[in-house]
């Protein structure tokens, strides 16, 4: 049976799944894999466990090999470089009085590039900052502006549900989320209750949106006048999951009616 292991390249970063091949790995082992940026070193944080075709694609990248002691030391040294580079960048941002918020620093395993991720309200003239960083680091430097949702993805944290943020744990791409999705699910429109750590609408509002739309399409809408054996009334509440509606009759009584389940 095919096996899968979860690998994390940065502390608190996203977990990627790889095929261990003929190697036997356990948690906290360091491995070498090929990524979109070239050769990378990661740490095993999950598995091995059987590949689930419902979750994992048929073709999963294989781990190249276990990392050597020298490569592990290089990785630890790169972590120190990232820490020093971040402190220096923060110092120079303050010196140049730039309106930008440094989020994270990523130093490639082979030392070919270092990327500084930041957020800002608008465009930032960071040319002098870039010169300072190149002089100090002596490698290719890239300053990359990211959005507030990407910042939450990189920093991580816990959502209102108490679980790790979806974006930093398993979401690969951001999807459009609208207030209409919250309305469709009869959720409170209080911004504090439907906004995530990033301040934007929570990504999870999208998860059950299609199901609610499907279940509600044959239910009488709120405010609609309907005829019942008990009399004429107006729909004032819906319970989509229980398939019930509450009707306010003209004589002031409230009754709850169970609807038939939608055809599969």
Is the Cβ–Cβ distance between 84 and 114 less than 8 Å? Answer: no
pLDDT attached to residue 142: 94
State the total domains in the chain.
4
pLDDT attached to residue 262: 55
Using the Cα atoms of residue 60, residue 61, residue 64 and residue 65 in order, give the sign of their dihedral. Answer: negative
What average pLDDT does range 148-166 have in this prediction? 86
* Distance, CA of 74 to CA of 107 (rounded, Å): 11
136 shares a domain with 85: yes
102 shares a domain with 119: yes
10 shares a domain with 58: yes
Within a domain: residue 92?
A: yes
Residue where one domain finishes, among candidates 67, 90, 108: 67
What average pLDDT does range 72-88 have in this prediction? 94
Name the burial class of residue 146, with classes exposed (0-12), middle (13-18) and buried (19+) by CB atoms within 10 angstroms of its CB.
Answer: middle
174 shares a domain with 227: no
**pTM of the shown model:** 0.71
What average pLDDT does range 35-47 have in this prediction? 86
* Distance, CA of 250 to CA of 238 (rounded, Å): 18
Within a domain: residue 127?
A: yes
pLDDT attached to residue 135: 94
Q: Which of the two residues, 107 and 39, has the higher pLDDT score?
A: 107
Residue where one domain finishes, among candidates 29, 50, 67: 67
Lowest-confidence pick of 10-19, 38-47, 72-81:
10-19
Is pLDDT above 90 for 85? Answer: yes
Residue where one domain finishes, among candidates 146, 172, 189: 146
Within a domain: residue 26?
A: yes
Q: Which of the two residues, 114 and 39, has the higher pLDDT score?
A: 114
Q: How far is CA 251 from CA 114, 167, 226, in A?
A: 72, 50, 14
Within a domain: residue 12?
A: yes
Those residues with Cβ within 8 angstroms of residue 88's Cβ, 6 or more apart along the chain or in another chain? 132, 133, 136
Within a domain: residue 263?
A: no
pLDDT attached to residue 68: 94
* Distance, CA of 44 to CA of 27 (rounded, Å): 5
234 shares a domain with 204: no
Those residues with Cβ within 8 angstroms of residue 198's Cβ, 6 or more apart along the chain or in another chain? 148, 149, 151, 152, 167
237: domain range? Answer: 220-258
179 shares a domain with 133: no
% of the chain exceeding 90 in pLDDT:
39
User: Could you tell me the two tokens for 35?
Assistant: 């990524």
Within a domain: residue 264?
A: no
What average pLDDT does range 203-219 have in this prediction? 87
pLDDT attached to residue 50: 87
Within a domain: residue 93?
A: yes
Within a domain: residue 190?
A: yes
pLDDT attached to residue 259: 80
124 shares a domain with 137: yes
127 shares a domain with 167: no
What average pLDDT does range 138-162 have in this prediction? 88
Name the burial class of residue 103, with classes exposed (0-12), middle (13-18) and buried (19+) by CB atoms within 10 angstroms of its CB.
Answer: buried
The greatest distance separating any two alpha carbons of the chain, rounded to the nearest whole angstrom, comes to 83
pLDDT attached to residue 264: 44
């Amino acid at each position: 049976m095919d096996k899968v292991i979860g690998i994390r390249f940065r502390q608190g970063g996203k977990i990627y799944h790889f095929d261990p091949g003929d190697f036997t790995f356990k948690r906290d082992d360091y491995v070498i894999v090929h990524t979109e940026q070239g050769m990378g070193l990661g740490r095993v944080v999950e598995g091995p466990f059987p590949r689930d075709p419902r979750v994992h694609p048929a073709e999963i990248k294989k781990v190249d090999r276990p990392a050597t002691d020298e490569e592990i030391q290089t990785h630890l040294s790169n972590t120190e470089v990232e820490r020093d580079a971040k402190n220096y960048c923060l110092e120079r941002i303050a010196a140049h009085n730039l309106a930008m918020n440094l989020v994270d620093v990523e130093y490639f395993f082979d030392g070919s590039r270092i990327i500084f991720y930041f957020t800002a309200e608008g465009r930032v003239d960071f040319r002098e900052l870039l010169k300072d960083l190149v002089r100090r680091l002596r490698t290719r430097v890239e300053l990359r502006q990211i959005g507030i949702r990407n910042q939450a993805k990189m920093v991580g944290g816990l959502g209102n549900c108490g679980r790790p943020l979806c974006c930093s744990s398993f979401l690969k791409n951001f999807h459009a989320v609208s207030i209409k999705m919250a309305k469709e699910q009869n959720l409170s429109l209080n911004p504090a209750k439907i906004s995530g750590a990033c301040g934007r609408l929570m990504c999870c509002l999208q998860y059950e949106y299609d199901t609610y739309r499907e279940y509600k399409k044959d239910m009488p809408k709120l405010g609609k006048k309907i005829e019942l054996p008990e009399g004429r009334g107006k729909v004032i509440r819906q319970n989509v999951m229980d398939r019930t509606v509450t009707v306010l009759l003209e004589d002031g009584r409230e009754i709850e009616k169970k609807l038939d389940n939608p055809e599969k």
